[in-house]
Structure 1
Amino acid sequence: MSKSIFLVRHGQTVFNAQQRLQGHCNSDLTDLGQQQATTIGLSLKNKLANKRQWTIYSSPLGRAMQTAAIVAEQIGIDASEIVPDARLQEFCLGEWEQAYIPDIKATQPRLCEQRDWYLMAPNAESYYAVKDRIEDFLADVSVPENVIVVSHGLTGAVFRGVYVGMTYNEVFSQDLPQDAYFLLANDKISRIQCDVQSVATVAV
């Protein structure tokens, strides 16, 4: 693949901090989430030789768009130029959206044994549905060669997996950082860590 893609997960949200699932619903970034987005934006600014060569694509969900706007501000790109793209949005988590993760795991303790337990939600979007939309995005000739993609934890993991041909188990063995982002180029993935206080977030 010839594209160069910086792949960013949205910053920490209120639901992340509360250990609640979001899926297609939304909650705003916390102060830490805004700091994470700012730090990633500054890091990207230092890596882009020419900001005019880069276009920001974002999931249309509020937390991603909020992150994208902060990133754009740091780079010096007008937020009005961000391209919302529904192919980048998070998995729909069906009947578990807005639920508290500890409550789910208390009633279904065996879920803890599965890295893909999120997808066990009643009426959740399937892995293959998300994989299809990411494959469509990567093959889309209308998407520029140099893009910054702001997406989500699980969808971002699928995005990386599709890019380098990971197996299903490899996809869900990845971490879902909010204090790091990834460069996808020349069929390789490079992780770029940012100097933000580390925070453990398992909710997506």
Structure 2
Amino acid sequence: MTLLETLTHRHTTKAYDKSRKIPADILSQLLEALRYSPSSVNSQPWHFFVAENDVGKARIAKATTGIFSFNAPRVLDASHVIVLCARNTLSPDYLEALAKQEQADGRFATDEARELAHKSRSGFVKIHEELGDVPTWAQKQTYIAQGFLLLSAALLAVDATPMEGFEASILEKELGLKEKNLTPTVIVSLGYHSDADFNARLPKSRLPEQSVFTTL
């Protein structure tokens, strides 16, 4: 499919075929899409929990109770489910780990270049620390990763469901997120839709171009 065909074919899946599993090579590509997602100053302020079996999915589904119970089947019946979490802080140790990884990956020609990049990123983090919005900043970057995951899934003919409808406090307790300095931002189910997925048969509906674009 062309990119436009992929974009118009992609939809938020409402029901999954529980019998169908994502092949390992496809899943690997989807996880790499998350890992290679862009972020401000390459801060990578995220962590991803991947549920590959019924036990893992059941743990995540605990957060889809009460008013969010409609999302439980979309967690339990999917092939895989990913919890995208944002970091609450970016500590000096974490920033140093980023710099070491960049150096190991050959991004710096000199020690001076490494120090300049590290100083620049630390400066951006300090700005957000002073503004008191590091968690919000990190969550914005995590949504970029979600976008990369959704598009990558569509390109690989994998269905997906992004969900904010869950009890964050339950998920925090279940996965020990507070101790890990993480906030659950969004859940994405992945797999293949079933015949019960009414949304797969509906046409796309978006505002017209003149409503969303202004040429300067």
TM-score normalised over the length of structure 2: 0.27
Structure with bigger helix share is 2
TM-score normalised over the length of structure 1: 0.28
Q: Which has the larger radius of gyration?
A: 2
